[in-house]
Amino acid sequence: MVYKVDFKEVSTVGLESSPVAPALAGLRANEARYYWNKYKHVFTTVPANEDPDTLVWIEKILSERDMHFAATPLEVTHFEVEGIKMAYVFYENGLVVNVMYSIADDGKRAVGFKLSEGMDVPKEFEGKFKFAHQKSKLAGVIRGSFFVIKGNY
């Protein structure tokens, strides 16, 4: 079932099983607000089991850095804006992974990580990434990091 993410009335729909559901919902709403303000794109998600292809594509890119997450994926989304493929997965532990993949051969391609407020840094990140902090009215304090994609996907 497609869920249209509302950034004015934050809801935990689809994320209820997360121990940091309100913060994760705020992070999801923060992303929805960004895409609406920048591209006028309506941010929608579906349960991860309804779009396994998006999850497989993200996991294939993550394998470039030998990254595999034990957390349960709750929701995913994928869309294209201004020549950039975007894909997201929202994990039960509060982790959000997004892929920005420019269609142009010389465009930017990266994987971003965002940690919901209140969650511990997953062991998969220990010693590999440093996280910048950003304050959000919707999500509290967001910790984020990224890596540049080297391969073609």
The pLDDT of residue 24: 98
The pLDDT of residue 127: 84
The pLDDT of residue 83: 96
The pLDDT of residue 52: 97
Domain ranges, ordered by start, for the chain: 3-148
The pLDDT of residue 143: 96
The pLDDT of residue 126: 84
Give me the tens of pLDDT residue by residue for the chain, a chain 153 residues long: 899 999 999 999 999 999 999 999 999 999 999 999 999 999 999 999 999 999 999 999 999 999 999 999 999 999 999 999 999 999 999 999 999 999 998 899 999 999 999 999 998 888 889 999 999 999 999 999 999 999 899
Residue 100 CA to residue 76 CA, distance in Å, equals: 14
H-run or E-run covering 59: helix 52-62
- Assess contact for 34 and 81: CB atoms under 8 A: no
User: Quick one: which of 28, 95, 100, 48 has its CA closest to 68?
Assistant: 95
**Residues paired with residue 51 on neighbouring β-strands, in sequence order:** none
